[in-house]
């Protein structure tokens, strides 16, 4: 038996597609066979499987488990819950050698996908492409695995709650009808203080707002709640609970790199001189702050799997991305867990002796653009970045090429990189003045024009 995946579904960091168009039960079965084969060949025997609250998730889970079983892999089915709960199961269950979460993350309701971990390491990039070639060749092991159900939600929530300080806070929590809802409901009962919940009922149609906390339009309900109840701060979650959004008591958004500044101050107090990792889209203010606190800032490639791998390589206790993926190895397991990150925000505020609003207010005011994405032909996107880097090199520009081109100028910096998951280029710029930002944007436009492109309309995720 062989199988061919839709060419768009096997991505850099995960597998993703539109149900009934580019992703279905046959694909889930083939993923189970391929991943199961990789697990068996690596000397493993058992995998954990979880799924998010999307309508299509139970159907995909059924097919995935069958594929794993037919490869000779035993499966622990942990049921519906956030992706971090699956990562937790893979980390703490003694005889589990890998894990798969069925999730569409923050994508529209008709999408779904798979996030994977094998032998304690992210399964991504070439690993995912290998699933495609194995399926096309029918290169799968055969066997008869078993299937058991395990309710791990209470154990996971209790572990997250261990990080909570004694101090009582007044907090708003917006689960966005995503898979984090039930965990948050259980968690707040274990925390001191006063907690107000929004949209904790799991609903794969996302009737209240889209579950992407990096888009300010999705934080409006939380801002209203914090203002009306005069809360200390608010936190929001994406569809599968691995990305956090936050606002302070004045309703200001606390972006991913700003959260990382707060966490870094807390962690570096315990681990002086540690390496703190952030992706290339993060503000210069973050890298400067880590240095000021005595840490070693490290700028790395965007992508949760890439960041996790770099953390293992460097022994970093903390990392984060602009997108709201926050990774704590300090007193935790090193994976991205937004629910844990919310509790660590309480802990950091208590330990540092300042409110979250004060911590946000202490940060330098930077003038920057949001992440801008614009369409480019898939065959051209990496070539354009190579052309830009060649021109910048010829001009003697101050460039960091870790992931695309991040260019430092007297006005600030600008970034142009190719997305690993879509046919888009991503740009961002940050300056100390509006005029400076205009000059940076002009440089981006000039580079695009030199490669025959225009910035044009920005596109969504």
pLDDT per position as a tens digit, 278-300: 999 999 999 999 999 999 999 99
Kindly list the distances between the CA atom of residue 75 and the CA atoms of 59, 65, 257, in Å, as whole numbers in the listed order. Answer: 16, 7, 37
Bridging pattern class, strands 296-300 and 275-279: parallel
Strand order of the β-sheet with 318-320 is 296-300, 275-279, 318-320, 326-328
H-run or E-run covering 198: strand 193-198
Among 113, 241, 255, CA closest to 186: 241
Q: Domain map of the chain by residue range?
A: 15-151, 155-361, 367-450
Pick left, alpha or beta for residue 88 (phi over 0 → left; psi -120 to 50 → alpha; otherwise beta): alpha
Backbone angles phi, psi at 76, to 5 degrees: -100, 115
Task: Report the pLDDT value the prediction gives residue 29, as an integer from 0 to 100.
Answer: 98
Residue 105 appears among annotated catalytic residues: yes
Q: How far apart are CA 17 and CA 33, in angstroms?
A: 18
CATH of domain 367-450: 3.30.310.50
Collapse the DSSP code of 81 into the 3-class scheme (helix H, G, I; strand E, B; otherwise coil) and give the result.
Answer: coil
Q: Return the structure tokens found at 297.
A: 């800032």
- pLDDT tens digits for range 417-434: 998 877 899 999 999 999
Task: Report the pLDDT value the prediction gives residue 181, as an integer from 0 to 100.
Answer: 98
Among 236, 210, 237, 214, CA closest to 225: 236
Task: Report the pLDDT value the prediction gives residue 378, as an integer from 0 to 100.
Answer: 84
Collapse the DSSP code of 19 into the 3-class scheme (helix H, G, I; strand E, B; otherwise coil) and give the result.
Answer: strand
Among 280, 359, 364, CA closest to 323: 280
* Block residue for tokens 């299937």: 147
Q: For domain 15-151, give the fold.
A: Alpha-D-Glucose-1,6-Bisphosphate; Chain A, domain 3 (3.40.120)
DSSP state of 298: E
Query: Comparing 155-361 with 367-450, is the CATH topology the same?
Result: no
Q: Residue 189: how many CA atoms within 13 Å on its side-chain side?
A: 7
DSSP state of 45: -
Q: How far apart are CA 444 and CA 405, in angstroms?
A: 10
Alpha helices in 293-403 (DSSP H): 304-314, 338-352, 356-361, 381-394
Q: Return the structure tokens found at 267.
A: 């962690």
Q: Return the structure tokens found at 251.
A: 């309703």
Bridging pattern class, strands 367-368 and 424-431: antiparallel
- pLDDT tens digits for range 109-158: 999 999 999 999 999 999 999 999 999 999 999 999 999 999 999 999 99
Task: Report the pLDDT value the prediction gives residue 370, as an integer from 0 to 100.
Answer: 86
Q: Among residues 56, 105, 316, 419, which one is catalytic? A: 105
What's the pTM?
Answer: 0.95
Q: How far apart are CA 26 and CA 67, in angstroms?
A: 9
Task: Report the pLDDT value the prediction gives residue 80, as an integer from 0 to 100.
Answer: 98
Report whether 172 contacts 234 (CB < 8 A). yes
Q: Return the structure tokens found at 193.
A: 């203080």
Residue 160 CB contacts under 8 Å (≥ 6 apart), including other chains:
183, 187, 337, 339, 340, 343
Task: Report the pLDDT value the prediction gives residue 456, as an integer from 0 to 100.
Answer: 62
| SS3 per-residue string spanning 235-249 | EEECCCCCCEEEEEC
CB atoms within 10 A of CB 8: 16
Residue 439 burial class via C-beta count within 10 angstroms: exposed 0-12, middle 13-18, buried 19 and up: middle
Among 443, 387, 388, 370, CA closest to 411: 443
CATH of domain 155-361: 3.40.120.10
Angle between helices 83-92 and 153-161 (to 10 degrees): 90
Residue 315 burial class via C-beta count within 10 angstroms: exposed 0-12, middle 13-18, buried 19 and up: exposed
Collapse the DSSP code of 143 into the 3-class scheme (helix H, G, I; strand E, B; otherwise coil) and give the result.
Answer: coil
Among 235, 215, 232, 227, CA closest to 174: 235
Q: How far apart are CA 250 and CA 242, in angstroms?
A: 25
Task: Report the pLDDT value the prediction gives residue 460, as an integer from 0 to 100.
Answer: 42
Q: Average pLDDT by consecutive 10-residue portion of the chain (461 residues)?
A: 94 92 98 98 98 98 98 98 98 96 93 96 94 98 98 98 98 98 98 98 96 95 98 98 98 97 98 98 96 98 92 97 96 98 98 98 92 88 96 97 97 94 90 96 96 68 38
């Amino acid at each position: 038996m062989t199988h061919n995946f839709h060419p768009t579904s096997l991505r850099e960091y995960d597998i993703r597609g539109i149900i009934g168009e580019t992703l279905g039960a046959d694909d889930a079965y083939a993923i189970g066979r391929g991943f199961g084969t990789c697990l068996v060949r690596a000397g493993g025997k058992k995998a954990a499987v979880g799924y998010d609250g999307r309508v299509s998730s139970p159907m995909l889970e059924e097919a995935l488990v069958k594929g794993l079983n037919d490869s000779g892999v035993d499966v622990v089915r942990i049921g519906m819950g956030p992706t971090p709960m699956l990562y937790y199961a893979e980390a703490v269950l003694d005889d589990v050698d890998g894990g798969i979460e069925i999730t569409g993350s923050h994508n529209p309701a008709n999408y779904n996908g798979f996030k994977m971990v094998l032998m304690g390491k992210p399964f991504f990039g070439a690993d995912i492409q290998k699933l495609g070639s194995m399926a096309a060749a029918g290169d799968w092991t055969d066997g008869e695995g078993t299937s058991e159900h395990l309710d791990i939600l209470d154990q996971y929530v209790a572990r997250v709650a261990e990080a909570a300080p004694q101090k009582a806070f007044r907090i708003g929590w917006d689960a966005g009808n995503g898979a984090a809802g039930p965990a948050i409901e259980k968690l707040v009962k274990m925390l001191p203080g006063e907690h107000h919940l929004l949209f904790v009922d799991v609903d794969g149609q996302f009737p209240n707002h889209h579950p992407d906390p990096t888009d300010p339009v999705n934080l409006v309900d939380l801002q209203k709640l914090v203002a009306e109840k005069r809360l200390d701060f608010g936190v929001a979650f994406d569809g599968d609970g691995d990305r956090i959004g936050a606002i302070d008591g004045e309703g200001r958004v606390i972006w991913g790199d700003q959260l990382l500044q707060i966490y870094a101050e807390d962690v570096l107090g315990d681990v002086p001189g540690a390496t703190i990792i952030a992706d290339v889209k993060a503000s210069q203010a973050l890298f400067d702050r880590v240095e000021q606190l005595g840490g070693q800032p490290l700028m790395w490639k965007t992508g949760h799997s890439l960041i996790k791998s770099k953390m293992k390589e460097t022994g970093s206790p903390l990392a984060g991305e602009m997108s709201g993926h926050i990774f704590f190895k300090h007193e935790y397991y090193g994976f991205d867990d937004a629910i844990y990150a919310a509790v660590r925000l309480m802990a950091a505020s208590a330990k540092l002796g300042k409110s979250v609003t004060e911590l946000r207010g202490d940060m330098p005011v930077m003038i920057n653009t949001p992440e801008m994405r614009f369409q480019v032909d898939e065959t051209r996107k990496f070539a354009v970045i190579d052309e830009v880097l060649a021109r910048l090199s010829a001009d003697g520009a101050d460039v960091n090429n870790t992931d695309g081109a991040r260019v430092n100028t007297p006005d600030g910096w600008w970034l142009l990189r190719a997305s690993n998951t879509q046919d888009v280029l991503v740009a961002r710029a940050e300056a100390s003045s509006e005029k400076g930002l205009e000059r940076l944007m002009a440089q981006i436009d000039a580079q695009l024009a030199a490669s025959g492109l225009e910035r044009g309309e920005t596109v969504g995720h």
